[in-house]
Amino acid sequence: MVLDRQIVDEGVSAFSGSNLEAGLGAFLNGIRSGALSADLVLLIENMDRFSRLNPMDVLPIFLEVLKTGLIIVTLQDEAIHTDAKYRENPMLLVPSLVSMQLAHDESRKKSVRLKESWSNRISRIASGERVPISKVPFWIDRDTQEFNARADDAREIFRLAAAGYGASAITRLINEKGIPSSRGGTWGRSMVQDVLKSKEAYGTLVIKGHEQPNYFPALISETTSLAISNRARRQRRNPQASTDANLFPRLLICGGCGGPMNVTTTSSGWKRYRYAVCSHRATARNECTARNWPYDFFEEKFVGGLGGILARSVEAPGSSPEPSERDALVERLEALNARRENAIQMSIEAETPENQRSFRMAADKLSKDADALRARLVELSEDAAAESEAASQVAGIATALKGAQAMRMNDRPALRNLIASVVDKIVMEPYIDGDINGAHVHLRGRRLPHNLVFDYSGDSDFERSDDTT
Least confident residue range of 34-38, 47-51, 156-160, 261-265? 34-38
Q: What is the mean pLDDT of residues 204-215?
A: 83
Q: Characterize the bridge pairing of strands 79-81 and 205-207.
A: unpaired
Give the residue with greater pLDDT, 287 vs 158. Answer: 158
DSSP classification of residue 254: E
pLDDT digits (tens, 9 = 90+) for 7-32: 877 665 555 556 566 677 778 887 87
SS3 annotation, 5-38: CCCCCCCCCCCCCHHHCCHHHHHHHHHHHCCCCC
CATH class of domain segment(s) 1-131:
alpha beta
pLDDT digits (tens, 9 = 90+) for 316-355: 444 444 556 677 777 787 887 778 787 777 777 777 777 7
Please tell me which of 33-37, 105-109, 129-133, 145-149 the model is most confident about, judged by mean pLDDT: 145-149
Give the residue with greater pLDDT, 42 vs 111. Answer: 42
Reported confidence tier of residue 375, pLDDT bands at 50, 70, 90: confident
Residue 313 confidence (pLDDT) above 70: no
| Helix, strand, coil percentages in the chain from 3-state DSSP, rounded to 5 | 50, 15, 35
Give the residue with greater pLDDT, 379 vs 136. Answer: 136
Q: What is the mean pLDDT of residues 116-120?
A: 76
pTM: 0.41
Per-residue pLDDT, 243: 52
Per-residue pLDDT, 289: 79
Distance CA 429, CA 440 (A): 8
Same CATH topology for 1-131 and 151-235: the answer is no
Mean pLDDT of the chain: 76
Least confident residue range of 80-84, 179-183, 217-221, 306-310? 306-310
Per-residue pLDDT, 463: 40
Contact yes or no for 239/263 (Cβ under 8 A): yes
Q: Cα 2 to the chain's mean position, in Å?
A: 25
Per-residue pLDDT, 460: 43
Reported confidence tier of residue 149, pLDDT bands at 50, 70, 90: very high
Reported confidence tier of residue 235, pLDDT bands at 50, 70, 90: low
Least confident residue range of 61-65, 203-207, 383-387? 383-387
SS3 annotation, 274-316: EEEEEHHHHCCCCCCCCCCEEHHHHHHHHHHHHHHHHHHHHHC
Reported confidence tier of residue 195, pLDDT bands at 50, 70, 90: very high
Reported confidence tier of residue 315, pLDDT bands at 50, 70, 90: very low
Least confident residue range of 53-67, 80-94, 111-125, 396-410? 396-410
Q: What is the mean pLDDT of residues 223-237?
A: 72
Distances (CA, A) of 150 to 158, 166, 178, 184, 190: 13, 21, 13, 11, 19
Which residues make beta-bridge pairs with 182? none
pLDDT digits (tens, 9 = 90+) for 245-276: 788 888 899 988 888 988 887 766 667 778 88
Cα 134–Cα 138–Cα 140 angle in degrees, nearest 5:
70
Calculate the dihedral angle through the C-alpha atoms of 169, 170, 171, 176, rounding to the nearest 10 degrees: 90
Per-residue pLDDT, 458: 52
Give the residue with greater pLDDT, 461 vs 58. Answer: 58
Q: What is the mean pLDDT of residues 74-82?
A: 88
The domain segmentation of the chain, as residue ranges, is 1-131, 151-235, 252-316+406-455, 323-401
Residue 238 confidence (pLDDT) above 80: no
Reported confidence tier of residue 363, pLDDT bands at 50, 70, 90: confident
pLDDT digits (tens, 9 = 90+) for 389-423: 455 544 545 555 556 666 777 777 777 777 877 78
Helices (H), 22-181: 23-33, 47-50, 55-67, 83-88, 93-126, 151-162, 167-176
- Altogether, the residues listed in the chain come to a count of 469
What CATH code is assigned to 151-235? 3.90.1750.20
